[in-house]
Amino acid sequence: MTQGTPPLSRLPAGKQRQRRTQQRRWLNRLWSWLITLAGGSVILALLGIFVYLLTEVTPLFKPVSAQPIVVEHSPPAFDITPAPIPAAAATAAGFEVAFSLVEPLQGYLLLAASNGEACLWWQRQPEAGCLQRLSLTDRTVNLTTLRWLAGKQSIVSGDSSGQLKQWFFLPDEHGQLRISWIKPFARRNAAIVDIAPEQGRSGFAVLDAAGGVSLFYANLTKPLWQGQAAEYQRATRLQFSQRNEQLWLLGPGEPTALQLDNRHPEISWRTLFQKVWYEGWQQPEYVWQSSGGAELRQGKYSLVPLTIGTLKAAFYAMLVAVPLGILAALYTACFLSEPLRSRLSQLIELLALFPTVIIGFLAAIWLAPALEQHLLALLLFLLLLPLLVLALARLWPRLPKRWQQIPGSGWDLMLLAALLFVTAYLALLGGDTLQQQFFSGSFRFWLNEQGVSYQQRNALVVGLAMGFAVLPIIFSICYDVMSQVPRQLTLGASALGATHWQIVRRVIWPLSLPGVLAAVMLGLGRALGETMIILMATGNAPISNFNLFEGLRSLTATLTIELPEAAVDSSHYRMLFLVAILLFIFTFMANTLADLVRQRLKRNFQRLDT
């Protein structure tokens, strides 16, 4: 230290102080900007993702457009000479054959006369004559065209009254192949002149005598596009270009052509949410079937099985997690005393950290086979447990006084745990014995014989496994809410002479109910968005039912399984983005509801505090 007079204040002198203030102001501003930027960019990123999803999906629903163009080069010659008809077939039909179609896989032959009379003949049974006789038109009108759609699984016929009909080859109840009438398409205004199938896709174009051209897709009765022009009247034939981008109208005069923009004909709201009768299927159904390994003629993209799968898995998981989570929270928050209480709650919350892949894996390789073997034991357990607990409760007052006074909390926990184990053991023993005695060794196969479909990897397995994953979320929120009930209320009730049980039922429970609801909604959000458990514990079969013993396919699992293989910009690819949006909407709804409920809860507590 020097001898000079020490400064009166340690605060910096005028100029320096000013500089410091300025510095601090700058720093503050910088920080606030950074924070704003971070917050804003998060919001922007979220919006961006959503907008991106939408831009990927919107092309699916873009209306089809067609522009007349100048034909630059004449289309490749198109072989329209029909295959020779075997003499045996012609005699079997007994009419003058105007149209003939050959089924390529087995060699069935469909012959038709110009009045619509038709005969199905099979080369493997030539002596049988016509296997089926039918009329492809109403008697009064003439058949004018008969064409295969791509893939040669379904037929479209057109007649002189402008009607279009779709026909399938379907086996009847005896396994005999039959031509079956499927559906009419929207009627054209004039006689049908020609039908052209798309290349490698199930759409087709129709030309009518009034010069009308319309584009159809096999699953939809209404045309995707239609147009009319006088010059089209000259045309007699339609043909698609190799990639279905152009439609040529050919005839005696100059060929004309239409440039088409029809990328995703198979997607419409109808095919996404209604039953569709696909080629070769026995009846209309909700089908999700895609393939990255091959180009499909008909993508089958129904969102119904996936939505049902997601809801089914979430429902059964909630069935497990909600009662267990809420009751566990109630017990821990209201009935346990301190050291044990916080330790137990921490332990349950720790379960949330369990990687879901592990849960899914265990569910698939251990739980699913075990459940299949001991299904009866599980049912017995669910039946026995409440009975035994009730019996114990009934027995309790009759026990000697010495036994009833349990030292400290935690003992009842031990006692009930012991009861649980005893019940489980009894159920296992009883279930297996019953199974051997009455169900010829396997309850699961017995169920099958009763007509209940049972798959090893089913919704029950998912419910248990995912319930286990959702439970900690529900528990921890419920626990927090219940232990935050204002103390003056419980103490007040206690002072007024309420019993512990009365306090729980009349004070804690009603107050924490909104919080419990919020916990349930958050758990639901988690269950809807869960991926790995469902992916691994189910067979991912896209089934549309709520059977507990059958598998399911969720929106999330579909994304995981299929997104890596989807060809960019294909219908399949865009459909998967639509699936993602649907999933987003589900979880968003669950979480928003939870938030609303939570805000109400906050207001309730504020009111109580004042």
User: Which residues of this protein are in contact with another protein, per CB under 8 A?
Assistant: 104-107, 151, 153, 171, 175, 177, 278-281, 285, 287, 289-295, 300, 305, 364-365, 368-369, 372, 440-441, 445, 448-449, 453-457, 535-536, 538-543, 550-551, 553, 560-562, 564-568, 570
Nearer residue to another protein within complex by CB, 243 or 600? 243
CB of 180 to another protein, least distance (A): 13
Cα 201 → chain centroid? 25
CB of 565 to another protein, least distance (A): 3
User: Which element (helix H / strand E) includes 36?
Assistant: helix 14-57
Q: How many CA atoms lie within 13 A of 388 on its CB side?
A: 19
CA distance 85 to 451: 47
Beta bridge partners of residue 195, listed in sequence order: 206
Copy the structure tokens of residue 353. Answer: 């950290």
CB of 311 to another protein, least distance (A): 17
Nearer residue to another protein within complex by CB, 20 or 243? 243
Nearer residue to another protein within complex by CB, 89 or 481? 89
Per-position b or e across 297-310, b if 16+ CB within 10 A of its CB: bbbbbbbbbbbbbb
CB of 454 to another protein, least distance (A): 8
CB of 54 to another protein, least distance (A): 23
Nearer residue to another protein within complex by CB, 285 or 349? 285
CB of 522 to another protein, least distance (A): 28
In the three-class reduction of DSSP (H, G, I as helix; E, B as strand; rest coil), residue 153 is classed as coil
Nearer residue to another protein within complex by CB, 95 or 573? 573
Query: 536 with 355: CB under 8 angstroms?
Result: no
Nearer residue to another protein within complex by CB, 289 or 499? 289
User: Measuring CA to CA, which residue among 360, 370, 561, 587 is closest to residue 553?
Assistant: 561
CB of 79 to another protein, least distance (A): 20
CB of 80 to another protein, least distance (A): 23
Query: 240 with 147: CB under 8 angstroms?
Result: no
Per-position b or e across 86-114, b if 16+ CB within 10 A of its CB: eeebbebbeeebbbbbebeeeebbbbbbb
Nearer residue to another protein within complex by CB, 117 or 279? 279
Beta bridge partners of residue 301, listed in sequence order: 288
CA distance 452 to 455: 10
Count of beta carbons in the 10 Å neighbourhood of residue 30: 10
Nearer residue to another protein within complex by CB, 174 or 398? 174
Copy the structure tokens of residue 89. Answer: 């077939």
CB of 142 to another protein, least distance (A): 31
Beta bridge partners of residue 249, listed in sequence order: 238, 256
Query: 541 with 553: CB under 8 angstroms?
Result: yes
CB of 480 to another protein, least distance (A): 37
The conformational region for residue 207 under phi > 0 = left, psi -120 to 50 = alpha, else beta, is beta
Taken in order 497, 500, 504, 505, the sign of the CA dihedral is negative
Nearer residue to another protein within complex by CB, 138 or 449? 449
Residues 6 or more apart in contact with residue 504 via CB below 8 angstroms:
330, 334, 335
- The residue type found at 417 is A
Nearer residue to another protein within complex by CB, 189 or 289? 289
CB of 306 to another protein, least distance (A): 12
Nearer residue to another protein within complex by CB, 94 or 151? 151
Nearer residue to another protein within complex by CB, 56 or 208? 56
User: Measuring CA to CA, which residue among 470, 571, 532 is closest to residue 268?
Assistant: 571
Residue written as token pair 């010059």: 231
User: Measuring CA to CA, which residue among 55, 72, 68, 183 is closest to residue 581?
Assistant: 55
